[in-house]
Structure 1
C-alpha cells in the first residue's frame, strides 16, 4: 500500500507524521532448543544460529556494496569446510548444510534493525518497500510477518527453533510503549505455539529407533559419515547434527564477524587478517584448553569467567525514549564489547598469528558474556575485562549512566561438568546483584573447585560448608589493581569516543610480577596455618607469630602491605543492609602507613597491629588463590630450586 497509511484498525489516518511500523523477531523456548543438551558444540551452534537468524533479517546487509557482509562471507568459507568433510549419503538434509540459503532481498529490504541481541531483534519496517500484498495495512503487515516466520521455519539452519514474529503499526511516537506492546504480542503468540519445533520426516532407515546420543530425546537415524575424533559411530538426530557441526566449525567465525564490525584501523586490519588465516584457529575443545599448561599445580585446570550487565534493562526503560535512543544504546554497547573482544584476541594471539587461541566462548550476546580459558589466564581475563570496561557509560535523555557488570570466576578441573560450572559462575554474579550495592559498581566473586566434584547445594550452603561462621562475612571483591581512569573529552558535533587503554595496564602478566615476587618469598606453610586459624581464637596468635618470624624480613612485610593497599586483594565495600551486617573491623581494617622507618625490623613488627593483613578474609583469599593470582612457570620454579641447592 505505498503512499497510504493505516492505523492498527486498518482505517486511513489523517496525520501521518508520527506513523511507523515495527517488527519484532524473537527466538523462544530457549531451554527446549538450545539447552536441551550439555554438549558444548550443540549449545554453541544453537546460540550462534539464533543470533544469525535475527541479524540476517537486517535489510542493511544488502545495501553494502564495497565489502561483502561479514556473516555471508564467513558462512561461505566455513560451508566449504563442512561440504568437504561432512557430505552424507544417509541424511539428505545434511548435504544442504553447506548451501546456506540467504533471505531473498525482496523479503528483508523493508527491514532496518533498531536493536538486535542474542536471540531477539526489533526492526523498523519501510512500508514503501513491503511486498505488494493485497489488503488493509494492518493485514499487510501481518502477512509480511507470516512471510518472515515461514522463511525461518523452513530454513535448514533455523527450522529446529521456535520463533515469534509480530508486527505493530504505531502512531504514538512513544518507543517505550512500542517495545512493551511488541513484547506483549510476542508472549501472547508464544503461548499459542508448541514449545518444540517439529522435526522433519526423514527417509526410512534400517536402523532401529534410538535416542540421539548427544541430545538423548530426539530420534536418531544415522551416524555422521566423517565424524570428528571421538564421535565415531554415534547415532545423532538431524537437529543435533546441524547444530553440532555448525557449533564446532563456526566458533572461530564469531571472532571474525565481531572484529569485522569494528572501525577499520591498521591494527584491526592485521588482527582480522590473522583471524582469517588458516594458521590461527580457536581451541577445538575444553580439554585442549586445559592441556599442557606450563604452570605449577594448574595441569588440566580451566577458568570460567561470566559477566552480566547491571540493570541494563532498567537503563533502557528509563532512558530510551525514541528509536534513535535505542540505536544509540545498541551501537554503544556492541562497540564496547567488540573493543574488549578485539583487545583480548590481540593480547592472546599466538606468536606470528600461528597457533591455537586458548579461548572458548560460551555466551556472547545482549549484556552477557562467558568464556573458558586456561586456569593460568583466569585472573588475566577478569582483570582485562574490568580494566577495559571501567569507563563504560552512556548518556540517554540527558542523564549519564555507568555500565557496570557483576562477574563470576570459577577455577576447576576440565572434567567438571561444564553445565554445572556455568551455573555456578552465573550464581556467583547473581548473588552479587542481590546485595543493595551490587548493581552500583563492578564487583566479582570466585570459587575454586579442587576436584571434579561440584556444589550440589545452594551457593550460601556451599560457602557455609567451606568457611563456617565466616561465610556470612564473605563479600564480593572489587576489580583487581585498577589503573587510574582515562577520560576522553567528546568534541562537539563528533561521534562518541570510546576509552582507549594502555596495553600494559591490561596486561595482567606485568601487573602480577610483584605478586609473584611476594609469593616466592612468602612461606606458604605459614599462610596456610594462619588461614586455617581464621575461625578460631588462635587467629590473633598466628598473626603475632607470623610477624614475629618475619621481623628480620621487613621487605616481605612491606611488599605484602603495598600489594593490598594497591588493590591486589581489595576488600569489599561497607555493609549497607541489615543482612550484610557483621563486624566492620573485619571488613575494612586500617592500612599501615609505612615510611622509610618501617624498613627497620622493630618498626615493621609494631606496624602489624594496623596492617591490612589482620583481616581473616585476606588470608583466606590469599591461600585459595595462591596458584591462580600469579601462576608460576614450572621451569622457573625448577631453576630456583636448583640454585637453592647449589
Structure 2
C-alpha cells in the first residue's frame, strides 16, 4: 500500500483560542493545539498503520503513514479529537497523496463546518460568562468566572493545570516562586518605577513568522531532522526570553510578565507589557543570531501591536498577523514593525491606520532589521542619555516639529541639528552626534528626517530604562 500523508489542523481560532481575554483559557487552548501530536499518532497506530516522518507544532501536523486505509485513519483521528479535552477546539483532518493536497481538502472542510463549536447543555439558561456566545448552565459555575460552557471550562482547567509545565518543559529558568499572571491586567500592574504615563496599562502582542521555512525544510531533506533542528532553536528562544523577563523585573516583583499565546515551529505569538516589548524582541533576535539550518541563516519577520490591556486580544492578534503579512508581501523579511494605539485599535484596516500616521511611507520604510536590533536599542539608549543632557530633541519639541508643515519640518530639524552640534562639539564629536539623527533602516531605504522623527517618538515611548537605583538593586 502506497504511503499517504495525514494533515491535521486546528482552525477557527477566533472562536476557540482568542474568543476570550482570559489568559488561562487562551493558554489552555494553545497548549491543546501544541500537544496534540501524541494523541494523533496514537490514533493512527491503532489502525495498524506504520508511521513514517511526522512534522508540526502549534496548530498543524503532517504524518506520513502506510499500511492502513485513508478513510480508516481519518475516522480514527477524528474520534480521538472528539474526546475531552481535544473536543474543545475545532479540527480538520484529511489524508491525501501529498501534504498540499491534504491541506486543500482541509480548507474545504473548514468552510463546510460551523465556526463556533457548541455542546448540548441540558438546562442551559444563560450564556458563557467569558465568551458571551456558547450556552452555559448556572449549575456549572466557576467560583470566580461565573457560568461556563463545556468548551470554555475544558480550556480553562487545562490552562490552569499545564501553563507552568509548558515553561518547565522548555526552559529551566522558571522557578517555583514565580507567579504566572492570571489576566492581562495583572501583566501590567503595578507598573515599574519611572514608567511614562502613556505606557501604563499597555500590553504588546508580538507575532513572529519564520521566513523561507518551506525552502529550509526541502534543503534539509529529512523531516525528522528538520523538526529536531527547529525544536532545538525554539527551546533556545524560550530559554532566553524567560531568562530576560525574569532578569529585568524589580527585585521585589515575583510576577512572570510574559504569556505565550501560540508556540510551535515557525509561528510564535506572545503578549508582554508594552514597557518590555523592545527588550523581548531584542532577546528573540539575539537567540536566533547565527542560527543556521541547511547552511542558511534563520530569520523571522515580526510585528508588535501595542494597545490598552482591555482591548480584545483577537483584534490585536489579527493586527499583528496582518502586519507580518504586509511586510512579507513587500519583501520585507527578517524585520520588525511597531504599531501603537492609545486604547483599542479602531475598526479600520492596518494599512489605513499607517497611511494616516505616516503618509507616503511603505512597509519597508517603517521596518527595522532584526539583524541590527541591538544597534537600534543602543541608539535609543544613547538618544535618551543625550536628551537628558539637553543635547537631543525633547519630546515636546519633537511633537511640535511633527505638526509643522513638511517643508518647514525638515528645515527646522536641520537648523536644530546644526545648533546642537555647535553647542556640544567640545564634548561630543560631530560625527557621533550626527549619528543620533538617523535610525537604522532597511536596505534601499532613505528616510527623511520627518519620518525618522515620527518613528523615534513611537520607539522612545516604548523604550524603558529603570531608574538608576532600581537598576543597581536588580544587578
TM-score range normalised by the length of the shorter chain: 0.7 to 0.9
**Equivalent of 1:476, from 350, 367, 374?**
367
Q: 2:332 aligns with which of 438, 441, 444?
A: 438
User: 5 Å matches for 1:63-462?
Assistant: 111=51, 114-125=54-65, 127=67, 137-138=68-69, 142-153=71-82, 155-167=83-95, 178-187=98-107, 197=117, 199=119, 201-202=120-121, 204-205=122-123, 209-222=125-138, 227-228=143-144, 231=145, 234-259=146-171, 271=172, 275=174, 277-292=175-190, 293-297=192-196, 298-313=199-214, 315-316=216-217, 319=219, 325-349=222-246, 355-395=254-294, 400-435=295-330, 437-439=331-333, 442-449=334-341, 451-462=342-353
- 2:441 aligned partner: 571
TM-score scaled by length of structure 1: 0.63
Cα pair distance change 1:443/1:237, threshold 3 Å: same
Q: Give distance in 2, aligned partners of 1:32 and 1:39.
A: 13
Give 1:620's aligned residue: 454
- Partners of 1:413 and 1:165 in 2: how far apart? 37
Deviation at 1:193, TM superposition (A): 5.5
Q: Distance in 1 between matches of 2:100 and 2:224?
A: 17
Deviations 1:58-94 (A, max 9, x none): 46xxxxxxxxxxxxxxxxxxxxxxxxxxxxxxxxxxx
Taking the aligned partners of 1:162 and 1:304, their CA distance within structure 2 comes to: 23
TM-score of the aligned structures, taking structure 2 as reference length: 0.83
Conserved 8 A contact 2:142-2:148: no
Q: CA deviation at 1:342?
A: 0.6
Q: Which structure is higher in RCO with an 8 Å CA cutoff and minimum separation 6?
A: 2
Give the gaps of 5 or more residues in structure 1.
1-5, 8-19, 60-102, 128-136, 169-176, 260-270, 484-504, 576-586, 589-613, 638-646
Q: In 2, distance between residues paired with 1:627 and 1:184?
A: 44
Which digits, 9 at most, give the CA deviation of each residue in 1:557-611, with x for residues without a partner?
555334567xxx2023216xxxxxxxxxxx16xxxxxxxxxxxxxxxxxxxxxxx
Distance 2:53 2:168 in 1: 21
Distance 1:564 1:58 in 2: 56
Displacement of 1:142 in angstroms is: 3.5
Q: Which residue of 2 aligns with 1:43?
A: 26
Give me the whole-angstrom Cα distance separating, in 1, the residues matched to 2:469 and 2:308.
22
2:178, 2:254 within 8 Å by CA — same for their partners in 1? yes
Mark the CA change 1:355 to 1:144 in structure 2 (over 3 Å): closer, same or farther: same
CA contact (8 A) 1:26 1:164 kept: yes
Task: Check conservation: 2:26, 2:159, Cα contact below 8 A.
Answer: yes
Number of aligned residues: 461
Q: CA RMSD in A?
A: 3.7
Call closer, same or farther: CA 1:217–1:376 in 2, change over 3 Å.
Answer: closer
Evaluate the alpha carbon distance shift between residue 307 and residue 295 of structure 1 in structure 2; reply closer, same or farther with a 3 A threshold. farther
Aligned to 2:384: 516
Does the alignment pair 1:34 with 2:20? no
- 1:494 match: none
Q: 1:355 to 1:224 in 2, by over 3 A?
A: farther
The Cα offsets for residues 124-176 of structure 1, whole Å up to 9 and x where unpaired, read as 4474xxxxxxxxx53xx5334423322221x22012334344446xxxxxxxx
Q: Residue in 1 aligned with 2:403?
A: 532
Answering whether residue 418 of structure 2 is matched by residue 547 of structure 1, we say: yes
Q: Does the 8 Å CA contact 2:47/2:72 hold for their aligned counterparts?
A: no
Question: Rg bigger for which structure?
Answer: 1
Give the whole-Å Cα distance in 1 for the aligned partners of 2:48 and 2:17.
26
Paired residue secondary structure (1:213): coil
Distance 1:196 1:549, change over 3 A: closer
Q: Helix, strand or coil for the counterpart of 1:216?
A: coil
Q: Which runs of 5+ in 2 are unaligned?
A: none
Moved over 6 A (4+): 351-354, 634-637
